[in-house]
Amino acid sequence: MSRGGFRTTALAVAWRSIHAFTHNRALFIPAMVFPLFFFSAFAGGLSTISRVPQFDFPTGYTAFQYVFVILQSSAFGGVFTGFGIARDFETGFGRRLMLAAPRRGGIVVGYALAAMGRAMVTWVVLTTVALIAGMQIDGGGVDLFGLFGLALLVNLAATLWATGVAMRVRSIQGGPLMQMPVFLVLFLAPVYVPLDLLSGWIHGVASVNPATALLEAGRGFVSGRPTTVAVAFAAAAALVAVFAVWARGGLRSAESEAA
Amino acid sequence: MTQPEGIEVERLVREFKKGPRAVDGIDLEVAPGKIYGFLGPNGAGKSTTVHMLTTLLPPTSGTARVAGYDVVSQGPQVRSRIGAALQEAALDPFLTGREHMRLQTAMHGLPKPERAARGDELLARVGLIEAADRKVGGYSGGMKRRLDLGLALVHRPRILFLDEPTTGLDVQSRTALWSEVARLAREDGVTVFLTTQYLEEADALADRVGIIDHGRLVAEGTPTALKAEIGRPTVEAIPRDDGELDALASVMERFGERAGASPKGVSVRLRGGEADLANVVRALDAEGIGVEHLQLHAPSLDDVFLAKTGRSLEGAGGEEETATEPAAVTA
Amino acid sequence: MSVPLLTQVGQLARRSVLRTLRQPAQIVPALVFPLFLLAVNSSGLARATNLPNFPTKSYLTFALAIPFMQGALFSVMNAGTDLARDVETGFLNRLALTPLRGSALLSGLLAGAVVLGLLQAATYLLVGLAAGASFAAGVPGVLVIVALSMLMTVGFGSVGLFAALRTGSGEAVQSLFPVFFVFLFLSSMSLPRNLIQTDWFREVATYNPVSYLIEAVRSLLVKGWDGEALALGFGVAAIILVVGMVAANAALHTRMVRT
């Protein structure tokens, strides 16, 4: 089978997904607004937290929360792509794609490309607003490249997770199953304060949560003091690998239904 | 003269803000104890008419009296005398059949000691007594429709409105519902106003039929009279040899004009009525044209609709009726 | 035949309660989600109690007010979604053909919300107690919390009913969730208003009625008896209820246009 078939399929699916996203206010506006809202609520409402003794993040609480919101919006962008896939299967469009695509793996790649495109748009908007709001960045260009590279991997991992669920359940009823684990992983991490200021059970959970490594690395990039970079990228890559297998299984499940 | 258990409608109109007139000046009368079939395609105005007659929608103009009461000024009195099973089955999937009956009997003011008995009586009558304690969410379409009918009867209404009651049902469920509706009219003397898009339903049940198209009554009468008005039957023939199709057509067209499209044969509306059938057979025989299939079709209500509107009823109708209604009244 | 108002309310209330209890998908998230957030936030923000002038040493006690507010939001969704379903399925028409009074319909529908609200309040209080929260106003304070919680539940529930009657769509009611979520976050949910550093955020929180609802419940947990906080909280809840019911009633007259 030609590579052209794979590429064509992926680009066609990506184009359609991005077109739907940019031309449907009900999809576009929340995707832009919610990250901004979380950023305002956390960075604005909780900025006093940076005055807690031993809170060590010189770049400022705005940047501290900026990293979380970038990663959160990347993850949920992947989840919302999963919602779209589920809706496509529910309406029968997914089956049409399965029947038409010469290389069905291209469908998954297409959705992933679209998710990345959506995430990048969100990052541009969020970063612009954060800078206007006076966010300080102590990291250089390479550091920021590292931050967005991490965010891209998070987006891809979340998309593959949600794709696997969506293609198995093939209904929007699978939405909570896509969303809840991502939500849990994100919030059982050092969201409001650094890891060493957490105590009790949450410190234990956050210590083993891969999202913690991602957050710490991201905050390190923004503050110009890279930390746990290798662990973070390894964790992100591992998540992508695991969920790629998961998504492939979902594709097989959808294929057997379409056959 | 006002009929206490009938329906009288005079120049009834319903206009919506952003659309054409959904009902455009309807006059009709339904005698007590009769079944009136209101036939028309999707979007014709059937449901809008029913909503007005059941007081759920005020008319823009015109008058209607149901059970002797004016639908506009005496709404509560009308509602106390009517039952309605509307286009949606209108059931709560989380309640059981029996719980529906309990709610409905209470809401209609039946005394508490009578509610359970009345509920069970109706559940038995519509064949749902064994499923009575199951949640309606698990009912089949036919069961839901039967429960819907039963609920419409809790307060012993004298007039019953049924809005496309058998749409989506299988043949068995449909036949069962027809039997019950016919029994209600025949034995209990209930006046029934039934809307449908199925010809055979109107044919089977209705004492009188009104055909509505684009908000207007285009024909009204008994099914027999309406069909007789059109008059002429059609004969359909399929040649034994496909190559003789043209020859077959040219022979048959001597006896009337082409009617409808038969995929492998020819249909012709007989000028001379049924009596011409023998002549058709003789003519085909004389030409040596072998015929595999020959059938005489009596005029149908679809023929009536076609004669009055220039379109066939089956396949007619574009938008759903509710598309022309504002969001406020689609429920 | 004239049907007593109490009979109508009773029957519709019974139906509303049955429906609520038979939908675990409505009950479980309403109980679990706020408790999860309480667990995460009370651990994650525990260090906030080290801030100067923080009113208590226990962030759990401070944060225990929030689930009650989140519970009220769920009542918007549940009450509204149930009524929207009645509109969509035509069940409202079925009721309209009976001698139903509009006031009976609205009151009866809120009964289900009240039952869920009681279940929620009991759960949050028991979990809070078990986790070590303190109740400065003692047992009488707990009763007042329950009363305020019920008032909030029916108040927000009536807003949900208004949305359902106005739109006739369950999806439209669901789309309100983010709106109320925003109100929740842009409040004194996470920090006392006087400790919010960001000026614009503090202003918004001051004008946000949700702040006063949370502060009223919080005052009974943290301070004891604070007349001003309670008066504001009950006042705001009552206003929401009145406005919600008036709007719902008006929408009902439009939706149920029977003659």
Q: Phi/psi zone of residue B258: left (φ > 0), alpha (ψ -120 to 50 degrees), beta?
A: beta
Q: Is residue B193 part of a domain?
A: yes
Nearest Cα neighbor of B253 from B238, B242, B243, B268 is B268
Q: Is residue B321 part of a domain?
A: no
Name the packing angle between helices B112-125 and B141-152 (round to 10°): 140
Average pLDDT of chain B, as a whole number: 88
Contacts of C3 in chain B (CB under 8 A): 106-109
C22 and B86 within 8 Å at the Cβ level: the answer is no
Between C230 and B233, name the one with better pLDDT. C230
Quote the pLDDT of residue B330. 31
Please tell me whether residues B235 and B179 are part of one structural domain: no
Q: Model confidence at C73, in pLDDT bands (50, 70, 90)?
A: confident
> C101 in contact with B at a CB cutoff of 8 Å?
no
Q: Please name the residue of chain C whose CA is at the shortest distance from the CA of residue A205.
A: C40
Quote the pLDDT of residue B328. 34
Please tell me whether residues B246 and B202 are part of one structural domain: no
Quote the pLDDT of residue A99. 83
Share of chain C above pLDDT 90, in %: 79
> C43 in contact with B at a CB cutoff of 8 Å?
no
CA atoms of C66 and C39, how far apart (whole Å): 11
Quote the pLDDT of residue C199. 93
Q: Is the pLDDT of residue A236 over 50?
A: yes
Contacts of B104 in chain C (CB under 8 A): 94, 98
Q: Is the pLDDT of residue B319 over 50?
A: no
Q: Please provide the size of chain A in residues.
A: 259
Segment C225-239 shows an average pLDDT of 97
Quote the pLDDT of residue B314. 63
C201 and A44 within 8 Å at the Cβ level: the answer is yes
Name the packing angle between helices C102-131 and C65-89 (round to 10°): 150
B94 and C23 within 8 Å at the Cβ level: the answer is yes
Q: Is the pLDDT of residue B325 over 50?
A: no
Q: Is the pLDDT of residue A193 over 90?
A: yes
Specify the CATH number for the domain of residue B53.
3.40.50.300
* Segment B89-143, tens digit of pLDDT: 899 999 999 999 999 999 999 999 999 999 999 999 999 999 999 999 999 999 9
Segment A153-173 shows an average pLDDT of 94
Quote the pLDDT of residue B182. 94
Compute the Cα dihedral for B312, B318, B320, B321 and give only its sign: negative
Q: Is residue B316 part of a domain?
A: no
CB A17 within 8 A of CB A88: no
Name the packing angle between helices C227-255 and C209-222 (round to 10°): 140
C44 and A202 within 8 Å at the Cβ level: the answer is yes
Quote the pLDDT of residue A2. 53
Quote the pLDDT of residue B261. 61
CB A99 within 8 A of CB A88: no
Which range of A88-102, B257-271, C155-169 scores highest in mean pLDDT? It is: C155-169
Quote the pLDDT of residue B304. 83
Lowest-confidence region among A168-177, B40-49, B287-296, C225-234: A168-177
Structural domain count of chain C: 1
Q: Identify the residue whose tokens are 């120049």.
A: B11
CB B31 within 8 A of CB B6: yes
**How close is the nearest chain C Cα to the Cα of B183, in Å?**
23
Quote the pLDDT of residue B3. 64
Q: Is residue B317 part of a domain?
A: no
Compute the Cα dihedral for C151, C154, C156, C158 and give only its sign: negative
Q: Which residues in C have their CB inside 8 Å of a CB on A? A: 36-37, 39-41, 43-48, 50-51, 178, 182, 185-186, 189-191, 195-198, 200-201, 205
Mutate to test the interface with B, among C18, C86, C171, C259 (most CBs of B within 10 A): C259
CB B300 within 8 A of CB B199: yes
Please tell me whether residues B212 and B246 are part of one structural domain: no
Which range of A90-94, B25-29, B315-319 scores highest in mean pLDDT? It is: B25-29
- Kindly list the partner chains of chain B, i.e. chains with 3 or more CB atom pairs below 8 Å: C
Please tell me whether residues B34 and B109 are part of one structural domain: yes
Q: Model confidence at B321, in pLDDT bands (50, 70, 90)?
A: very low
Give A22-31 contacts, CB < 8 A, sequence gap 24+. A27/A80, A27/A84, A30/C178, A31/A77, A31/A80, A31/A118, A31/A121, A31/A122
Share of chain C above pLDDT 70, in %: 100
Quote the pLDDT of residue B315. 57
Q: Is residue B150 part of a domain?
A: yes
CA atoms of C74 and C113, how far apart (whole Å): 9
CA atoms of C128 and C124, how far apart (whole Å): 6
CA atoms of A7 and A13, how far apart (whole Å): 10
Which range of A9-23, B259-273, C214-228 scores highest in mean pLDDT? It is: C214-228
Q: Which domain holds residue B251?
A: 230-309
In a 3-state reduction of DSSP, which class is residue B247? helix
Please tell me whether residues B251 and B278 are part of one structural domain: yes
**How close is the nearest chain C Cα to the Cα of B80, in Å?**
7
CB C71 within 8 A of CB C26: no
Q: Is residue B315 part of a domain?
A: no
Q: Please name the residue of chain A whose CA is at the shortest distance from the CA of residue C52.
A: A52
**How close is the nearest chain A Cα to the Cα of C207, in Å?**
14
Share of chain B above pLDDT 90, in %: 67
Quote the pLDDT of residue B327. 31
**How close is the nearest chain A Cα to the Cα of C195, in Å?**
7
Give A36-40 contacts, CB < 8 A, sequence gap 24+. A36/A125, A36/A126, A36/A129, A37/C182, A37/C185, A38/A69, A38/A72, A38/A73, A38/C185, A39/A65, A39/A66, A39/A69, A39/A126, A39/A129, A39/A130, A40/C186, A40/C201
DSSP assignment of B40-71 equals --TTSSHHHHHHHHTTSS--SEEEEEETTEET
Please tell me whether residues B172 and B300 are part of one structural domain: no
Beta sheet of B7-15, edge-to-edge order: B21-30, B7-15, B61-66, B69-70
Structure tokens at C177: 């969730």
Query: How many DSSP H helices and E strands does chain B contain?
Result: 11, 14
Q: Is residue B324 part of a domain?
A: no
Q: Is the pLDDT of residue B320 over 60?
A: no
ipTM of the complex: 0.87
E-assigned strand segments in A106-190: none
CA atoms of A24 and A17, how far apart (whole Å): 11
Among the candidates B178, B202, B221, a domain finishes at B221
Q: Is the pLDDT of residue B206 over 60?
A: yes
In a 3-state reduction of DSSP, which class is residue C33? helix
**How close is the nearest chain C Cα to the Cα of A116, in Å?**
24
Please tell me whether residues B200 and B274 are part of one structural domain: no
> What distances in angstroms separate CA C89 from CA A52, A172, B89, B325, one per listed residue?
54, 21, 7, 16
Among the candidates B161, B196, B221, a domain finishes at B221
List residues bridging with B36 in a β-sheet.
B193, B208
Please tell me whether residues B110 and B170 are part of one structural domain: yes
The distance from CA C204 to its chain's CA centroid, rounded to whole angstroms, is 20
Structural domain count of chain B: 2
Segment A245-249 shows an average pLDDT of 96
Q: Is the pLDDT of residue A79 over 70?
A: yes
Between A158 and A20, name the one with better pLDDT. A158
Contacts of C23 in chain B (CB under 8 A): 94
Please tell me whether residues B161 and B280 are part of one structural domain: no
- Listed by number, the residues of chain C in 3-42 with a beta carbon closer than 8 Å to a beta carbon of chain B are 3, 7-8, 11-12, 14-15, 18-19, 22-23
Q: Which domain holds residue C118?
A: 5-255
Please tell me whether residues B236 and B213 are part of one structural domain: no
Domain residue limits, chain A: 3-258
Please tell me whether residues B196 and B58 are part of one structural domain: yes
Specify the CATH number for the domain of residue B259.
3.30.70.980
A45 and C50 within 8 Å at the Cβ level: the answer is no
Q: Model confidence at B205, in pLDDT bands (50, 70, 90)?
A: very high
With touching defined as 3+ CB pairs under 8 A, do chains B and A touch? Answer: no
DSSP assignment of B88-146 equals S----TTSBHHHHHHHHHHHTT--HHHHHHHHHHHHHHTT-STTTTSBGGG--HHHHHH
Please tell me whether residues B34 and B111 are part of one structural domain: yes
Quote the pLDDT of residue B318. 46
The number of beta carbons lying within 10 Å of the beta carbon of residue A11 is 14
Structure tokens at A228: 């746990």
CA atoms of C150 and B166, how far apart (whole Å): 45
* Segment C110-153, tens digit of pLDDT: 988 899 899 999 999 999 999 999 999 999 999 999 999 999 99
Contacts of C43 in chain A (CB under 8 A): 198-203
